[in-house]
Copies of this chain bind each other. A is one copy, B any other.
Amino acid sequence: MDYKLAEINSREIIPGYHGKLIHAQHLSLAFWEVEEGAEVPMHAHSNEQVMQVLEGQFQFTVGDVKRIYGPGELVVIPPDTEHGGKALTPCKLMDVFSPVREEYK
């Protein structure tokens, strides 16, 4: 299956978080454009997640570690681990999940 990011409609899944989603069999990918100041409240899910900052400065808390991440930085969020964040600037982020993030379908 082929995808062009330019042709995927984005959905505002959380206020200020506009995501293009790709779901495969074991994996989901999300490409986010995030408005400055938009926050994801602390939450957890059984899916493992890897978050990459593509552009901007993103304040991210995983468990009890709170840091600011920039382009080229990645964070592994283990299953069932509380995490949340805030875009300190407009951001582009990528998330990868396994298993598939069913709530985003």
- Chain A positions within 8 Å of B, measured between CB atoms, are 1-6, 22, 24-27, 29, 48, 50, 67, 69, 72-76, 78-79, 96, 98-99
Contact = CB atoms under 8 A, between A and B. Distances in A.
A79 B79 CA distance: 23
Given A2-B67, A67-B2, A96-B96, A25 B78 contact: yes
13 contacts: A1-B76, A2-B73, A3-B75, A4-B74, A24-B50, A24-B76, A24-B78, A25-B48, A25-B78, A26-B26, A26-B98, A29-B96, A98-B99
Given A27-B48, A27-B98, A72 B2 contact: no
Nearest to A73: B4
Contacts of A72: 4-6
A29 B95 CA distance: 11
Given A5-B72, A25-B48, 15 more contacts: A1-B76, A2-B73, A3-B73, A6-B72, A22-B50, A22-B74, A22-B76, A25-B79, A26-B48, A26-B99, A27-B48, A27-B98, A29-B50, A29-B74, A98-B99
